[in-house]
Every structure is written in C-alpha cells, then in structure tokens.
Amino acid sequence: MKNAHDLVAEAKAQVPEIPLEQAEEALRKADVLIDVREADEYLAGHIPGAIHMSRGVLEFKLSGAPALAARDLKIVLYCKTSGRAALAARSLQAMGYLDVQSLAGGFDAWSAAGKPVASPQAPTFD
C-alpha cells in the first residue's frame, strides 16, 4: 500500500522541479504562478505575483477559468515545501497541461533565501 510520501516521490519523478537558484528566472518566464497552499498560509505571506488556488479545489478553479484554459501555458506551482505542489502538478499534467513545474523546496526555501514575500495589508481604521 502506498503512503503520502510514496505518492509525492512518484510525482516528483514525473514533474520538473525548479531549483531555487533558477526560480526568479523561471517565474519571469511563467504565464502563471499558483500557490496551492491553504488560504491562511497564502495570507500569511506568498511569492509576489502568485495567485491562490488551494490544492483541494485547483482542478475545479482551473476548469472554471477561461483565461487559464490554454494547455500550453507555462505554469509554476508551489506549496510550503514542495510535496503538495508536485501532486498538484501531476494532476494538471493529467488534465492536459503541457508545461507544468514546481518550485523545489517551496515557499519555505524561497523565504529562507531572503527572496521577496508579499503579504496583504490589513485595513486601518484611523
């Protein structure tokens, strides 16, 4: 019987991972950057320019977004450490997306390297 780690390992064997050293260039070339973490994780901080689609609803949101229907889009996915992103990327490949990659090490590696992090600003009521 397979466990979660087995599934992630299989996905990572089939999905190109972008090394952190090449991440900024890959993000510039991407058509879309998707954060597949949960909403609270995204709101606590995310890679600038990322759109949020939790892994649990990713396929449904993509299916309902005509702007993301082209199967030749360059898509980069990330999560906290890269497991969920690899699984999500496999799912997008199964949907017919041709150019899907995940960020090695995920958001944790990105932020630990001192790369820019965006956070929504809470409104002020002065």
pLDDT in tens, 46-88: 999 999 999 999 999 999 999 999 999 999 999 999 999 999 9
Structural domains of the chain, count: 1
Catalytic site residue from 15, 27, 75, 79: 79
Name the token pair of 101.
């990659």
Whole-prediction pTM: 0.92
Helices (H), the chain: 4-14, 23-29, 39-44, 58-63, 83-94, 106-112
Whether 49 is catalytic: no
pLDDT in the model for residue 122:
64
| Domain, as residue range, for 60 | 17-112
Contact 78, 103 (CB under 8 A): yes
The answer to whether position 121 is within a domain reads: no
The answer to whether position 9 is within a domain reads: no
The answer to whether position 12 is within a domain reads: no
The answer to whether position 120 is within a domain reads: no
The answer to whether position 74 is within a domain reads: yes
Residue 64 CA from chain centroid, whole number: 18
